[in-house]
Amino acid sequence: MDHTQKFYIGGTWIDPIGSKTLEVINPATEKPIATIAMGNEQDVDLAVTAARTAFDSFASTTPAERIALLEKIIEVYKRRMKDLAGAVTSEMGAPTGLAEAAQAPAGLGHFMATLDALENFTFEEKIDTTTVVREPVGVCAFITPWNWPLNQIVAKVAPALAAGCTMVLKPSEIAPLNAIIFAEILDEAGVPAGVFNLVNGDGLTVGTALSAHPEVDMVSFTGSTRAGVEVAKNAAPTVKRVAQELGGKSANIVLDDADFEDVITRDVTGMVVNSGQSCNAGSRILIPADRMDEAVEIAKKAAATIVVGAPDAEGTTVGPVVSQAQFDKIQGLIQKGIDEGGTLVVGGTGRPDGLQEGYFVKPTVFADVTNDMTIAQEEIFGPVMMFIGYEDEDDAVRIANDTQYGLAGMVSSGNPERARKVARRMRTGMVHLNGAPLAANAPFGGYKQSGNGREFGKFGLEDFLEVKAIFGDNQN
């Protein structure tokens, strides 16, 4: 990879101002695979200045011109899919099959959904004698995480481009290689100089400088709730718009009329996808208390089908978690679950048998968990799930809502109307009924401490627009 020691600013790859670097670690081997340059406040200022300089011109482009740009980006992105998937596998440990079937295609899906939204979006409307116009919010700062990196990068970049905004991206320093390839894609596609800029670095330095920069009009952040609070504090003095997609502790309600064999098998194996490193993972599985033993037996059988191993090995369904810090955090929380009285069904602390190196975690299931336990309240971000018993439907909804988070939820029932009614009572931004997947044209985001704003499709596009009322513009 040619550009690991450079930043993409003003339409060209340039040397960083400082000399700080960071090794990128392959989590399956614990060995470095690249060294990236780490930015500082001066690099951020250069990138923001480039974005500000490009803004007036790009903001004045027509929707048709931006449609053509997105189409060209999609064309180039498709050609680089294999490269993107390979980067994700090597830097954050996603199994090759997952990287090629989901991680890289997620970004493409957002470009496609944004293109559709732009083609059908109304930027101007008449209300009596007033014209209401929607205009780009301005220069945007994007701070993105490592777990679904392309998904979260493109969910911000695509609608910002569609709206006519310019931007600076700071991807996770843990998994930055896919973002470098992404910048190469935008460059090849002909994104005008300064519209998209990339500066690698850590949150304390580059993230803080971006969120506090007076020439940044909006900051969009995806990551932990703790870090999101700091971003909001940094942004507050300049009263910039802040959009956040933060942590989650999603409840998965299995109602008593659901097909337990199918649902629990599906959701145990589904929860460990991406090593459980998904903010919307349904880690709290709520089961009728009098059927806990039945659920545990099904979970044991499902867990036995999960294959943990090297991401590039045939048959692997779960790779490592992303880093030593993440591994240590998960190990501590598994031990906490044991210490607080959860029944360990499968898994536990330590690496799976046969894996002496790499940040591999045993897929772990707890039963007989109460909602006040640490593992039921804290986001683990690993392949760890817990069965919590409930007495009746009202109790299930109460437990589901008894959390600081409100990102996602799941409901399974043999009666679709019953599932719908329960879904409407859950205080979350999204609910999956009977295993329904995400949709790239539907809103993604949460209630409570899971954030604010919405991404995906037209909802993401709207987040990057200001609304202006021009009074008396529509008079005879």
- Domain edges within the chain: 7-246+450-470, 251-439
Arithmetic mean of pLDDT, 26-44: 98
Tokens of 28: 């399956």
Residue 230: active-site member: no
Q: Stretch 430-455: mean pLDDT, rounded?
A: 97
Mean per-residue pLDDT of the chain: 97
230 close to 265: Cβ distance less than 8 angstroms: no
DSSP SS3 for 35 = strand
pLDDT of residue 1: 66
Q: Model confidence over 148-170: pLDDT tens digits?
A: 999 999 999 999 999 999 999 99
Could you tell me the two tokens for 31? 């060995």
DSSP SS3 for 170: strand
Per-residue confidence band for 476, with pLDDT thresholds at 50, 70 and 90 = low
Catalytic residue among 91, 100, 173, 245: 245
What are the distances in angstroms from CA 19 to CA 201, 219, 330, 337?
12, 26, 33, 43
Q: How far apart are CA 446 and CA 465, in angstroms?
A: 20
Residues with Cβ within 8 Å of 172's Cβ and at least 6 positions away in sequence, in order, are 144, 145, 146, 149
5: left (phi over 0), alpha (psi -120 to 50) or beta: alpha
Write down the catalytic residue from 279, 357, 379, 462: 279
pLDDT at position 291, please?
Answer: 98
Q: For the domain bounded by 7-246+450-470, which CATH number is listed?
A: 3.40.605.10
Instruction: Give residue-wise pLDDT tens across range 191-209.
Output: 999 999 999 999 999 999 9
What is the value of pTM for the model shown?
Answer: 0.97
CA dist 248 and 299 (Å) reads 22
Q: Check if 188 is active-site.
A: no
Give percent of the chain with pLDDT exceeding 90. Answer: 99
Second CATH level (architecture) for the domain 251-439: 3-Layer(aba) Sandwich (3.40)
Is the pLDDT score of 179 beyond 80?
yes
Q: What is the pLDDT of residue 161?
A: 98
Those residues whose C-beta lies under 8 Å from the C-beta of residue 293, and which sit 6 or more positions away, are none
With pLDDT > 70 as the criterion, what percentage of the chain qualifies?
100
Alpha helix (H) residue ranges in 23-165: 41-59, 63-79, 81-92, 96-98, 104-119, 149-163
Question: Three-state secondary structure along 139-159?
Answer: EEEEECCCCCHHHHHHHHHHH
> Comparing 7-246+450-470 with 251-439, is the CATH topology the same?
no
